[in-house]
Amino acid sequence: MRILVFGPQGSGKGTQAELISRKYKLPYIATGDIFRFHLKSGTELGKKASRYTDAGELVPDEITNEIVKSRIIQPDCVNGFVLDGFPRNIFQAKFLNEMVEIDWAFLIDLADEKAIERLKDRLACKCGLSYHLLNNPPKVAGICDKCGNKLFIREDDKPEAINRRLEIYHQETEPVIKIYQDRGVLYKINGDQEIKKVFADIEKNISLKK
Ligand code: ADP
Ligand code: ADP
Ligand code: ZN
């Protein structure tokens, strides 16, 4: 089960990818989380990437493609994975498609204005989970339900970087979605519903083809 999740920033990709990963026992791979991990750990890669991530620009493909490749060849990915945040342009899609066949590409559809509204109250955890102050609060304020770490507001969830990220999404990532549509593996999901309803729609499409 090789699954991709697309959608504008704030549409709920990470939230849904985590639910898919839990239900189907697949590794959840988010390129953004990998970059944030390197940044926090102060690695060379983190330093190189931060120039781009801070501004909401895409990290160069040479760097990103290698990170994804080295992750999906790990033994835990033999039965599949859920990939969130990759591919984001047609070069990355080409690179991925040469390595593996994708079974489901979900597009979480949500208008930019609604996505921006959600990001205002997003709380993130370094384990990859995200919460929302009102829509999806953690059980204990400020603490991740899953790993117990402290939640934080992402550096790039400020208005300037959000607008730039959405612009890149429409310019560079939307053409990628077309590639999966042409291959017959794209499933468009209404993202403007409760979290569990969105997930139910995803499950329905998975069970139809599983
Ligand atoms: P993305 O990975 O697409 O940027 P997230 O999964 O981080 O999006 O979700 C963005 C914010 O919206 C988070 O605060 C999350 O808790 C919240 N959220 C996710 N899905 C929904 C939903 N269906 N309805 C309301 N809020 C949601
Ligand atoms: P979002 O989707 O909410 O913008 P992510 O957490 O997915 O945020 O990614 C954070 C940052 O990491 C991006 O703004 C970008 O700089 C970098 N990044 C993540 N995925 C990719 C990718 N596939 N290609 C290039 N850069 C990426
Ligand atoms: Zn956590």
How high is the pLDDT of residue 54?
Answer: 85
Nearest to 151 by CA among 121, 129, 130, 124: 124
In the set 2, 36, 118, 122, the catalytic residue is: 122
In the set 48, 94, 154, 164, the catalytic residue is: 154
Report the C-alpha gap between 122 and 153 in whole angstroms.
7
pLDDT string in tens for the chain (210-residue length): 999 999 999 999 999 999 999 999 999 999 999 999 999 899 999 999 999 998 889 999 999 999 999 999 999 999 999 999 999 999 999 999 999 999 999 999 999 999 999 999 999 998 889 999 999 999 999 999 999 999 999 888 888 889 989 999 999 999 999 999 999 999 999 999 999 999 999 999 999 887
Residue type, 19: L
pTM: 0.95
Q: Using a 6 Å cutoff on CB, does residue 52 contact ligand 2?
A: yes
Tokens representing 128? 């990859």
What are the chain's domains? 2-111+156-208 (3.40.50.300)
How high is the pLDDT of residue 138?
Answer: 97
